[in-house]
Amino acid sequence: MKELHHFIARYVPDLSPAFEEDLYRVFYTKKLKKGEHLIQAGQISRTLYFVKKGMLRNYLIKNDKELTVWFSFPENFVTVFDSMILQIPGKENTIAMTPCELYAIAYEKLEMLNKVSHEWEHISRVFTIEFALQQEMRLYMFQTMNAEEKYQFLLDTSPHIIENIPSKYIASYLGISRETLSRIRGRIA
């Protein structure tokens, strides 16, 4: 849990000893094999995960085609956010792209901690805002950029995606064909 504790402390310094006790009490470890689903569409996401090791991909199925919507790497939280917060069936699948080790907390335990601890409530608010900002940035990218600009933006802001994710998933994430991605890469190189 030290990775999770250090990660949270970067955003919220001066964590109390009670926080650390809670952290070790309520989080548990989950391991996934490559290709194993963490979350499947149609299920309610009842858990928030923190990636210790590995890479995951969130995707939708539309017209029998996978559409990548998100990637998660070490030091990322992962869930189907709207499903977890609203406790409704989710539209996304989450699959391990590599073997993964995660820390997990049940949503009801997180909510209980938020009700009894201002510190936990503050931490939850900080990471909810962080998630909203990431979504806003992605929406901005899709609403204002052409294909080459989207790729360049991804290259500038998230080079780890370009370095670690297969082209077919990057193209899907950017909403372009693999051929277009290949041409863009050729022009930028």
- What's the CA gap between 26 and 4, in Å, rounded? 12
Model confidence pLDDT, tens digit, residues 125-143: 999 998 899 889 889 988 9
What kind of fold does domain 2-115 have according to CATH?
A: Jelly Rolls (2.60.120)
- What's the CA gap between 165 and 54, in Å, rounded? 12
Helices (H) and strands (E) in the chain, counts: 9, 8
Q: What percent of the chain has pLDDT over 70?
A: 100
Q: Which residues pair with 44 in a beta bridge?
A: 89
H-run or E-run covering 26 = helix 17-26
Model confidence pLDDT, tens digit, residues 29-73: 999 999 999 999 999 999 999 999 999 999 999 999 999 999 999
In this structure, the number of other CB atoms found within 10 A of the CB of residue 22 comes to 19
pLDDT at 21 over 80: yes
Q: Which pLDDT score is estimated for 113? A: 94
Q: Give the type of residue at 87.
A: Q
- Please report, for the chain, the start and end positions of each structural domain, with discontinuous segments joined by +: 2-115
Q: Which pLDDT score is estimated for 1? A: 84
pLDDT at 189 over 80: no
